[in-house]
């Protein structure tokens, strides 16, 4: 039985623990220079309709380090750009590949691909969710803090796909999460209500100082995501006061960890001093994307994957 990873809510606590443990193992092997070719003879397709630096490079490098192969497919170069049905693409690629990593716009696109594909489909970003990034962020928290649970998390900025994924992580792991978003830029209401119904400790506020007060981990992202370039100037005005700065962090817990999934616009959502300062772990986050995604590829595509997920 295949297992997809479209959203963090596709995982349970045990799945998180498994990913974290396998990530640590693979990272140690990489640093020790020990070959770990667990996906030899496996081929993954990267179907990317949005541009990427870290996500593409980390998936490609990770798959090669596991002994596998990658076929990169920009959306504009596929028949999807000429209105081939998504279901037909899924059926055909399932006969060529062992797994499909997708970076696209509407979440319904990846849902349709996964519903028809007979191979695992992994979400590398949609407009609604960015699960691999938040899992990587949580692994970074685990490295820095020694634990993920029992901490206060603050999100400052747009209620975007990252914010939605943090909410879902809070629902699965029971995290204490406060999000500061300007009015009109809240996370998806359905995602929030679902998490609250699951008992998540999630709250949305308007004042970044309230979100950051006593926080152990503070995360942010660009104010205008891909596809929102026309809104840049409007958003700069709306998000004034939502910059993660030394002044804002003064209210956080001593030893606060600051995260940003990059690329960063210094002086907008985060100051250069904070981004490059001692509280920042942004480049550790970036590295850990590769290690976490290797763990996901290994667990989802490797030997024993079907049996592992049969009863999940």
Chain segment 80-105, per-residue pLDDT in tens: 999 999 999 999 999 999 999 999 99
Q: Please provide the DSSP assignment of 8-62 as one string.
A: GGG--HHHHHHHHHHHHHHHHHHHHT----TTTT-EEEEEESS--SHHHHHHHHH
d(CA 19, CA 155): 23
Q: What is the rounded average pLDDT of the residues 117-142?
A: 98
pLDDT at 1 over 80: no
Distant-in-sequence, close-in-space partners of 143: CB < 8 Å, separation ≥ 6: 284, 288
Alpha helices per DSSP H over 128-259? 131-145, 161-173, 189-197, 208-212, 232-238, 246-249
d(CA 166, CA 234): 25
Spans of all domains in the chain = 8-130+287-309, 131-285
pLDDT value for 170 = 98
CB of 157 closer than 8 Å to CB of 220 = yes
Q: Shortest CA distance to 167 belongs to which of 142, 141, 186, 147?
A: 186
Q: What is the rounded average pLDDT of the residues 241-253?
A: 98
CB of 126 closer than 8 Å to CB of 109 = yes
d(CA 300, CA 157): 33
pLDDT value for 225 = 72
Q: What is the pLDDT of residues 294-310, one digit of tens each?
A: 999 999 999 888 777 87
pLDDT at 141 over 70: yes
Supply the CATH classification number for the domain 8-130+287-309: 3.40.50.1370
pLDDT at 181 over 80: yes
d(CA 199, CA 86): 35
pLDDT value for 228 = 66
pLDDT value for 305 = 83
Burial class (CB in 10 A: 0-12, 13-18, 19+), 306: exposed
pLDDT band, residue 159 (cuts 50/70/90): very high
Same topology between domain 8-130+287-309 and domain 131-285:
yes
C-alpha distances (whole Å) from 157 to each of 153, 160, 275 are 13, 9, 15
pLDDT band, residue 37 (cuts 50/70/90): very high
**Average pLDDT over all residues of the chain:** 95
d(CA 19, CA 5): 12
pLDDT value for 17 = 96
CATH architecture of structural domain 131-285: 3-Layer(aba) Sandwich (3.40)
pLDDT at 247 over 90: yes
pLDDT at 246 over 70: yes
Q: Shortest CA distance to 103 belongs to which of 67, 66, 129, 65?
A: 129
Q: What is the pLDDT of residues 202-238, one digit of tens each?
A: 999 999 999 999 999 999 999 977 666 667 788 899 9
pLDDT value for 16 = 97
pLDDT value for 309 = 81
pTM of the entire predicted model = 0.96
d(CA 181, CA 57): 31
Q: What is the rounded average pLDDT of the residues 53-79?
A: 96
pLDDT at 53 over 90: yes
Q: What is the rounded average pLDDT of the residues 160-188?
A: 97
pLDDT band, residue 168 (cuts 50/70/90): very high
């Amino acid at each position: 039985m295949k297992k997809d990873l479209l959203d963090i809510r596709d995982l349970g606590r045990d799945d998180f623990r498994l990913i974290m443990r396998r990530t640590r193992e693979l990272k140690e092997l990489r640093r020790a220079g020990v070959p770990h070719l667990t996906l030899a003879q496996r081929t993954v397709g990267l179907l990317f309709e949005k541009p990427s630096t870290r996500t593409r490079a980390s998936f490609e490098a990770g798959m090669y380090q596991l002994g596998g192969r990658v076929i990169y497919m920009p959306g504009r170069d596929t028949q999807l750009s000429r209105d081939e049905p998504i279901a037909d693409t899924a059926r055909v690629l399932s006969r060529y590949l062992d797994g499909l990593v997708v970076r696209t716009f509407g979440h319904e696109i990846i849902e349709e691909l996964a519903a028809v594909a007979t191979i695992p489909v992994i979400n590398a970003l949609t407009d609604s969710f960015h699960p691999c990034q938040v899992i990587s962020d949580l692994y970074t928290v685990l490295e820095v803090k020694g634990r993920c649970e029992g901490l206060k998390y603050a999100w400052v900025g747009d209620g975007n796909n990252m914010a939605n994924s943090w909410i879902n992580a809070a629902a699965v792991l029971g995290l204490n999460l406060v999000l500061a978003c300007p009015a009109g830029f809240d996370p998806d209401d359905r995602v929030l209500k679902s998490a609250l119904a699951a008992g998540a400790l999630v709250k949305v506020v308007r004042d970044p100082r309230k979100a950051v007060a006593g926080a152990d981990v503070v995360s942010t992202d660009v104010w205008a995501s891909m596809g929102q370039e026309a809104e840049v100037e409007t958003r700069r005005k709306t998000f004034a006061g939502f910059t993660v700065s030394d002044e804002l962090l003064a209210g956080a817990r001593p030893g606060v960890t600051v995260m940003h999934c990059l690329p960063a616009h210094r002086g907008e959502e985060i100051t250069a001093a904070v981004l490059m300062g001692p509280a920042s772990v942004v480049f550790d986050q970036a590295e850990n994307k590769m290690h976490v995604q290797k763990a996901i590829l290994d667990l989802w595509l490797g030997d024993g994957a079907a049996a592992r997920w049969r009863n999940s």
